[in-house]
């Protein structure tokens, strides 16, 4: 029986480069779950409501681009194989969100953010740094990230028109998944992050949401 191939750091780097291209310009590898909005009827939206939905979904799409970068960066530098595998599995589930958001943006007549390559690069560097510091901090970073993402999703669900049931279905499923990812990370040994780090994460998130709403 042939032994399982051992991947070198260079192999992982190439794989991450391929993942970046798929995330930004191609078709990412997903779990194959159906789009939760497919069963919902297209509601009657005013032009203002449609524009607002497209902008909010663009923010969430860029958030998923950043999530991909964070997970891939952390997987690249994770010390334990089990942690690396968890990061890669979560990344595939986040790819579902990426595809769902992009499809919804297209349905609303919007476009994804032109700043995605910039945010991907920054998030990948942050993820790699978090993984290099240590697995417990890397996992804690995931837990805190998902906590903040859920807060954003809750805010967007309140801002969406009640008639936009398709966008709402996507965000509600994303919320369920993000909560699970955060719980899994902390249960695997994640450490709570210091207050200044949490604050810095919130400030960087505000930069992302504030720019991608418009661009």
Provide the pLDDT for residue 13.
65
What is the domain extent for residue 109?
A: 45-212
Provide the pLDDT for residue 89.
77
Is 39 inside a domain boundary?
no
Residue 94, marked binder? yes
- Torsion angle in degrees (nearest 10) through CA of 146, 74, 91, 171: 20
Provide the pLDDT for residue 92.
82
Is 3 inside a domain boundary?
no
d(CA 208, CA 128): 19
Is 28 inside a domain boundary?
no
Provide the pLDDT for residue 116.
95
As averages over each run of 10 residues, the pLDDT of the chain (215 residues) reads 55 69 77 93 96 98 90 76 73 89 97 95 88 86 93 97 98 96 90 91 93 96
- Torsion angle in degrees (nearest 10) through CA of 161, 108, 65, 182: 30
Provide the pLDDT for residue 1.
42
Is 198 inside a domain boundary?
yes
**Contacts of residue 123, Cβ cutoff 8 Å, sequence gap at least 6:** 65, 66, 67, 68, 69, 70, 73
The owner of tokens 């010390």 is: 79
Q: Say which CATH number the domain at 200 has.
A: 1.20.1260.10
Is 113 inside a domain boundary?
yes
Residue 44, marked binder? no
pTM over 0.75? The answer is: yes
Residue 88, marked binder? no
Cβ(71)–Cβ(123) below 8 Å: no
Total number of domains constituting the chain: 1
Provide the pLDDT for residue 16.
66
Is 29 inside a domain boundary?
no
Residue 146, marked binder? yes
Residue 178, marked binder? yes
Provide the pLDDT for residue 146.
92
């Amino acid at each position: 029986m042939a032994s399982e191939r051992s991947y070198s750091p260079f192999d992982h780097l190439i794989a991450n480069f391929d993942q970046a291209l798929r995330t930004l310009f191609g078709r990412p590898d997903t779990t194959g779950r159906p789009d939760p909005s497919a069963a919902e009827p297209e509601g009657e939206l005013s032009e203002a409501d449609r524009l607002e939905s497209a902008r909010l979904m663009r923010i969430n799409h860029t958030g998923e681009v950043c999530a991909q970068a964070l997970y891939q960066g952390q997987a690249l530098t994770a010390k334990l194989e089990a942690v690396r595998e968890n990061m890669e599995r979560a990344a595939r589930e986040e790819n579902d969100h990426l595809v769902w958001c992009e499809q919804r943006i297209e349905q609303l007549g919007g476009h994804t953010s032109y700043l995605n390559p910039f945010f991907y690069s920054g998030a990948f560097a942050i993820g790699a740094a978090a993984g290099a510091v240590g697995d417990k901090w890397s996992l804690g970073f995931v837990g805190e990230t998902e906590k903040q993402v859920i807060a954003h999703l809750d805010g967007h669900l309140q801002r969406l028109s009640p008639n936009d049931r398709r966008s709402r279905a996507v965000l509600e499923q994303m919320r369920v998944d993000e909560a699970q990812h955060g719980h899994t990370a902390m249960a695997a040994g994640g450490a709570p992050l210091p207050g200044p780090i949490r604050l810095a994460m919130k400030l960087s998130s505000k930069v992302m949401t504030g720019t991608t709403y418009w661009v």
